Amino acid sequence: MIGENKVPDIDQYRKAWSKFATGVSVIISRDDTGAVHGMAANGITSVSLDPMLVLVCVDHSRNTYKRIKETGKFSINILNHNQTAVAEYYARRPEKRIGEPPCELIFGKKGSAKIADCIAFIDCHVHEEIIQGDHTIYIGKVVDITSGAGKPLLFYESMFNELAHDGLAPNWS
């Protein structure tokens, strides 16, 4: 019952958030040797247009967290609806991954890794970090950005989905 003083458990928390449809992205950072470290993420958002700032939430237990902390750089790759295998690969912990990533990585002007055929790529330098619980909220200053054609890969009720139709333009007049 809503309003009880009972503390919700983690499963309830996850189930509630599974009702919120999100896009799927892969956050990538590179270490000093140039090796790529990535993780699937849906905890991303735009923060500001001027200056252009984005927000990513990264679990402290992920290798990507350590690399962002060391280098102060990361990229956000927003996945295309046909990149489910890419999302599944990067959702696994590195020790559970089999083989190479099922995608081509393209290295940008500033050295960040872009996943080929993603619908948007946002390259960032850490502007601010805020530690909250078992995650760090990184606010990144956008240093490069590209976007292309395609529909996004979505995550809803703990499953990958895609848009059912092209959508409706809002009537905000």
Would 56 be classed as within a structural domain?
yes
Q: Specify whether the CB–CB gap between 98 and 112 falls below 8 A.
A: no
Would 39 be classed as within a structural domain?
yes
Helix (H/G/I), strand (E/B), else coil: 139: strand
Q: What is the pLDDT of residues 143-172, one digit of tens each?
A: 999 999 999 999 989 988 888 777 777 887
Structural domain including 28 reads 24-80+115-148
Tokens 């240093």 label which residue?
Answer: 143
Would 158 be classed as within a structural domain?
no
CATH number where 65 lies: 2.30.110.10
At a CB cut-off of 8 Å and minimum separation 6, what does 80 contact?
117, 118, 119, 150, 151, 152, 153
Residue 1 has pLDDT above 60, yes or no: no
Would 42 be classed as within a structural domain?
yes
Q: What is the mean pLDDT of residues 35-55?
A: 94
Would 47 be classed as within a structural domain?
yes
Overall domain count for the chain? 1
pLDDT for 131 equals 96
Would 122 be classed as within a structural domain?
yes
The rounded distance, in Å, linking the Cα atoms of 142 and 2 is 40
pLDDT for 26 equals 97
Would 64 be classed as within a structural domain?
yes
pLDDT for 112 equals 87
pTM: 0.88
- What DSSP line would sit under 84-138, residue for residue? HHHHHHHHS-GGG--SS-SS-EEE-TTS-EEETT-SEEEEEEEEEEEEETTEEEE
- Of the candidates 45, 47, 114, 108, the residue with the CA atom closest to the CA atom of residue 79: 114
Q: What is the pLDDT of residues 74-129, one digit of tens each?
A: 999 999 999 999 999 999 888 888 888 889 999 877 788 999 999 999 999 999 99
Q: Specify whether the CB–CB gap between 149 and 155 falls below 8 A.
A: no
